[in-house]
Structure formats: C-alpha cells, structure tokens
Amino acid sequence: MSAVPSPTLLRFVVVGLSNTLISYLIFILLHGLLGVAFASQAVSYAVGILWSYAWNSRWTFEQASYSRTQFIKFILAQLSLLAASALLLGLAVDILQLHATASWIAIMALITLVNYVVTKKWVFARPAAEA
C-alpha cells in the first residue's frame, strides 16, 4: 500500500479547501452587506455546494458531463453528512463535554474521509465496465 495519496484524493482535498475559502469569503461579504448571519450562511452554503459539485464532478472524478441524478445524490450526501457532523458534535461537545475545537477537528476529519468515499463510490461511481 502506497503512502502517497491518490491523485483523486488530492484533488478532492484541493476542491474542499477552495470550497471552504470561497464559502467563508461569501459569508463574510454577505454578512457585512446584510448583517444577517442566517441568510449569509444559507447563500454561502448553497454556493459552496454548487462549487464543490462542479469541480468534483469534472476535475476530481472526471465526469464527461453534469448529471441530474449525480447532483441529487451529491446534495443528499452533503445534507446527510451535515446532519451526521452536527449530531456527532452535539454528542461530543454538548453531552460528553469534550473540547469543542478538538472535537470539531476530529469529527470533520472523519466526515471528510466518509465524504470522499461516498462521493467516489456512490455519487460519481463509474459503471463496472469502466472501473
């Protein structure tokens, strides 16, 4: 087993980091303009999903075209992972009283790995003949 991550995983991480930066910048910009965190986060999160889908679809997982089915799977996966991370953080921080930052880092590392596997194996899975 190679210690070097696959090019696909590296691309996935790059897209994730760019998504985080863009989402954050949009949140800050909108919050500065609107002064409403909820609306700013909602728009920022939606843009982040679109950015992530577009780049992961074409660059990370090298899909020839955009697919409605894949997009729906992508949205379902992201919402499920959002729910899972919120539940795990609630358990770790609110119930078990663990350190918030350390819990966030550990849980988000796990969620990122699960996200990669789900995205690769379910959202952008290639038919058996192509794999």
Q: Where is 94: in which H helix or E strand? A: none
Q: Nearest to residue 16, comparing CAs of 116, 123, 104?
A: 116
What are the tens digits of pLDDT across the range 19-40? 999 999 999 999 999 988 888 8
Amino acid at 15: V
Residues in the chain: 131
Amino acid at 103: S
Which residues have CB under 8 Å from 13's CB, separation 6+?
5, 112
The model carries a pTM of 0.82
pLDDT beyond 80 at 127: no
Q: How far apart are CA 48 and CA 19, in angstroms?
A: 6
Task: Write down the domain spans for the chain.
Answer: 1-64, 67-125
| Per-residue confidence band for 2, with pLDDT thresholds at 50, 70 and 90 | low
